Amino acid sequence: MLPINEIFATVQGEGFHVGTPSIFIRLQGCDVGCGWCDSKHTWNVHAAQQSSAEQMLAKRDSDERYAWMDLAQVLAAIQPFAARHVVITGGEPCAHDLRALTEALIDSFHLRVQIETSATHPVLAHRQTWVTASPKIAMPGGKVVLPEVLERAQEIKFPVGRARDIELLKSEILPFFADRERLFLQPISQSERATKLAIEAAFELGCRVSIQVHKYIGVR
């Protein structure tokens, strides 16, 4: 059973797979506590927020309602969508054991699967799962970024808001992730200052800038 906040189809708006038609499975629950998070409605798992799977799937706005769903229910819910790429996000999806779900999606349905994680929990997923680590360092939740997740990741999507973030990237992330072609710097809240910092660092480090394209084209 997994607590699901949303299942919907859109295009991936960030990182390596930007522009890819995707089925998003958004899980409820996160203990990291990023101040700039744009999905704070997924943080808590309270009984008062729980709804039926039918009510959760029918909602059209992001809110705190979630439903506990078993594997068969999740697989049935994605059947109407034509996309062949699945993004498991949150919340913090790796707070949950995702092996059964990812194994079914990859081995039985032959879908590509991507997990978006803060790298603060071990990744329990099919070995072919594409792991997007967006490392969250020194957040209010007190979670520690795990080197083994950085080493497991296929891409790093690093949030940038201030010059200090670039120094943390160099000291805490780059020793465990060498592929600069798959290192994306993402300006927090698309602010002008953060964007300038990300562009300057991308030139210096030989990596890329990732803009949240979905926010510009008006999709979820």
What is the model's pLDDT at position 111? 98
What is the model's pLDDT at position 197? 97
Contacts of 177 (CB under 8 A, 6+ apart): 133, 150, 151, 153, 156, 183
CA distance 53 to 74: 9
What is the model's pLDDT at position 218? 75
Q: pLDDT over 70 for what percent of the chain?
A: 100
Q: pLDDT over 90 for what percent of the chain?
A: 86
- Please give the average per-residue pLDDT across 110-136, as a whole number: 97
Considering only 33-37, 90-94, 118-122, 146-150, which range has the smallest mean pLDDT?
33-37
CA distance 30 to 45: 9
User: Which pLDDT tens digit goes with each residue over 169-200?
Assistant: 999 999 999 999 999 999 998 889 999 999 99
Which CATH number is 31's domain given?
3.20.20.70
Higher pLDDT, 60 or 201: 201
CA distance 180 to 84: 27
Q: For residue 83, is it within any domain?
A: yes
What is the model's pLDDT at position 101? 98
Q: For residue 25, is it within any domain?
A: yes
Q: For residue 118, is it within any domain?
A: yes
- Please give the average per-residue pLDDT across 55-75, as a whole number: 93
Domain total in the chain: 1
User: Which pLDDT tens digit goes with each residue over 151-171?
Assistant: 999 999 999 999 999 999 999
- Mean pLDDT (the chain) is 95
Q: For residue 21, is it within any domain?
A: yes
What is the model's pLDDT at position 2? 98
Q: How many other CB atoms sit within 10 Å of the CB of residue 63?
A: 14
- Please give the average per-residue pLDDT across 133-143, as a whole number: 92
User: Which pLDDT tens digit goes with each residue over 9-60?
Assistant: 999 999 999 999 999 999 999 999 998 888 899 999 998 899 999 999 998 8
Q: For residue 18, is it within any domain?
A: yes
Q: Is this prediction's pTM over 0.85? A: yes
Is the Cα dihedral 46, 27, 25, 68 positive or negative?
negative
| Ramachandran class of 206: left when φ > 0, alpha when ψ lies in -120 to 50, beta otherwise | left
Q: For residue 198, is it within any domain?
A: no
Q: What is the DSSP letter of 208?
A: E
What is the model's pLDDT at position 140? 86
Q: For residue 119, is it within any domain?
A: yes
CA distance 131 to 91: 15
CA distance 119 to 108: 27
What is the model's pLDDT at position 64? 92
Q: Which helix (H) or strand (E) holds 9?
A: strand 2-11
Cis peptide bond prior to 91, omega within 30° of 0: yes
Q: For residue 187, is it within any domain?
A: no
Domain that holds residue 18: 2-158
